[in-house]
Chain A
């Protein structure tokens, strides 16, 4: 009994209040989407706002369970929870229900459960457990390897569903590793490869390869700081490329544009290596290795996409990237979403007075595009308040993380902050056209049981752990 009182005294009420605000405001917006003149009661379980109430209730029950449980179960069962979540991810590939060409859902007793939400919690716990283990004082290659494995396993399983959007979320854990000592350049390169990965699906290979060569040339210059070296390499590549380009054109060889570039790259890099053997030029081999590695990405993406993935999986990715299932043409969804948000103006059209989101102009308006309703009905005032509250929550989590004596709690807190960050950033960015349309929900806001309960548990495990920070003395 004494301990319980103790817990309530140490709970970080700011996070709890922010959580309650986001859940309540989110529900208001889901209500606004579903509201019409036939409205009778908010407890109509056939409608989104009705069942979301149920999910909120379930979330509260889960939160109470988290507080009833001994806080030590989380570090103790971390690997088991992680293992369970991987098992569920495996099972969903076999027994899952296919929605939008992806097997990411279990259908049980009329409820839909998305195991990937569970995997985010499992991975956060597992990372925290591993990194807080004895002997992890320095971030060695082995540490990185094991961490990469912990993150990579659910990532690959979710990619196989295929649900690349959700898989992408796991990249957020790199921030956690970065906090715990992962060298900065690895973070930069991984982020870069991810970006490359994404652009490979969106852009022509030739454009990407050209851009890569340009970037590496610039780096080559930065590392050497000798204009002569930069221009020599540029001129060699330029002449050979021009020669091959013209030859291809006038001999009507019909070689693909990107292959011409690569041929030019291979020839010019061989010449360049021979030249640099005589003169001392730094980092040539390292840069070339990276360059060839990067160039391989679009081709492997291309190969995996066309040769490994089945047509329905390709379709799924195309849907995610907004290339397909767009009856009014590419970019329709984002356009409608931008119109909805933009039409809200500074102060919004008023609660329940939105027309764009309510009347289905915006797709998925109560799940992935719920931010449109905020934008339309509450205006810039509403969107900036929601955004700043999210930012405040993340910053608060970091402050909370840094005050922990337990490394487990700190790592876990960073994991929570990172997952929230990538969800909020990608979700809002896609509704305003800053990012391709990737169907991931806005935490606490979007309609859906798995998402709401997943994020509630994710956050409240942290609040529970933080409440016990004084226990680690």
Chain B
């Protein structure tokens, strides 16, 4: 009667088959595959960060340079949105209805992105009073940098939002965080930023907070960033920027006894306030397009030949290698002639001894010295003698990075013998081939920072501390150990005395002194002028100086681009800065006036 009774097995089989398929799928989904556990956690977790205030920056005399100002990001919690007066809010925020629509739409997708970043204080003031009318909108406080004195932008650097690459590389950062991008802000980021706090919430799909995540186990309070006392003397820096305002170039002033950077000027400079907040990117692009290159960090990145200031180094090497003595005299007939080589000189009495050679910056004198160094028979050949010369030069940390606490430093260049081998062939060159090195021209390139350090070494009679920009760090007993280490050159202390005397005479020696502009009646300034040959236009004016002679408190290197001889612009600027730093007065307003009234910014 029931001939299809066997079909119960088929139907039962279908039921079991379907059950089995689902069971296997569930097993894979729940037991084997672990990816959904992760997705689930990210789904239902929201991290609210508390941003600590960044550490403050003071000058060496504890005068405030950089602090923080509040900024307000307008945020949206889409689940709390209720109908509101769109026109009123658009008016307050000064945005279009389309922008509003777009923002609300985006808020569903990117819950943590601010709707409007960094409201202006005026907008915030108006909005704050009426915020209750707009449920779902709230304001999140952040801090932005503010500058008590708008100076030293190249040294201080700036702060910006982290990008994707930074987030990937460092788990400490997440979208919307700020980070130091250059200068002190970058090199002392870890000190200044403090520790971000966070509150982890459990949220529903609308990002509505349902309670603390795992009982607040991952919550932590923010720790305020630590303050920094930098080595800059704000008054000196400010005065230097005032003097350099109309010139391209740089000034680096160091305290020889510590290596602390007293002034760090790169001109033309920019107002550091331009690179904060919402306008940062836009302003940065404008600065970047500026043909005067205001964001170019000249003290660390400009490579110039040292010019005649380098005669001090050649002199020191000559004395050290005993190829000359301080009594050695050389004749100069408006230059140095040897075969086809001719290096001109200016008019001065002849012959000159060592001190007079420096005082008069005689090219012939130092061509002779250099030739003696390179042709020194005790080294057997030119290459060995050159390598020895180079060994002395690099002991002044010329042509290589100082590896200090500043960023974007370029090394400069001191050629190796192999460089000339490549250029002229092995044994294809001799002292005369590279004679321009005698007067600091040719292939040799250094940065103003290296020049200032070289000056500091001379002032110290043979040693230096790595130039650095931070003096004290809050909550830390000492700055980095490497800044406390005395570094010696290959030159004996005794050999520095005649060089220093020559430099003293160059400023204070009367007739024949190349830098009489820099003279100050009560302060013993030692200096050396230089001119960096500029193939693209007027030469650059260089002056290195330190003072006082017997107890140096300041050593500096001044570069003024396209200003011709070193004595014309660089020397008076250096002199005024020394006077300002050591006496805090200016006794030569006419000199200051002349500098302020001239403008070489657009000269080539």
Contact = CB atoms under 8 A, between A and B. Distances in A.
Q: Is the interface of A mostly helix, strand, loop or mixed?
A: helix
A37 B209 CA distance: 12
Given A175-B14, A327-B108, A395-B12, A432 B4 contact: no
Interface stretch (A73-81, A144-152, A291-299, A337-345): A337-345
A395 B108 contact: no
B211 interface: yes
A429 interface: yes
Interface in B1-47: 1, 3-5, 7-8, 10-12, 14-16, 18-19, 21-23, 25-27, 29-31, 33-37, 39-41, 43-44
A341 B30 contact: yes
Interface string B186-217: 00000000000000001111100011000000
Nearest to A341: B29
Interface in A222-263: none
B39 A343 contact: yes
Contacts of A107: none
Given A342-B33, A359-B44, A360-B204, A384 B23 contact: yes
A358 B44 CA distance: 10
A391 interface: yes
A380 B108 CA distance: 32
Contacts, number: 122
Interface string B228-253: 00000000000000000000000000
Contacts of B41: 343
Contacts of B205: 359-361
Q: Is the interface of B mostly helix, strand, loop or mixed?
A: helix
Interface string A393-425: 011001001100000000000100100010001
Given A380-B30, A398-B8, A398-B11, A434 B211 contact: no
Interface residues of A, number: 48
B108 A361 contact: no
A355 B40 contact: yes
Contacts of A429: 22
A420 B40 CA distance: 31
Given A338-B29, A345-B30, A414-B11, A356 B44 contact: yes
A338 B40 CA distance: 10
Contacts of B108: 327
Contacts of B202: 355, 359
B37 A345 contact: yes
Contacts of A387: 19, 22-23, 26
Contacts of A345: 30-31, 34, 37
Interface string A368-379: 000000011001
Interface of A: 36-37, 137, 175, 178-181, 327, 336, 338-346, 355-356, 358-361, 375-376, 379-380, 383-384, 387-388, 390-391, 394-395, 398, 401-402, 414, 417, 421, 425, 428-429, 432, 434
Given A346-B30, A356-B40, A356-B44, 18 more contacts: A181-B4, A340-B36, A341-B29, A343-B37, A343-B41, A355-B44, A358-B204, A359-B203, A361-B205, A376-B40, A380-B26, A391-B19, A398-B12, A402-B5, A421-B14, A421-B15, A425-B18, A425-B22
5 contacts: A37-B211, A327-B108, A384-B23, A402-B8, A432-B25
User: 10 tightest CB-CB pairs across the interface, nearest first?
Assistant: A342-B36, A359-B204, A343-B40, A355-B44, A360-B205, A380-B30, A391-B19, A339-B36, A339-B39, A342-B29
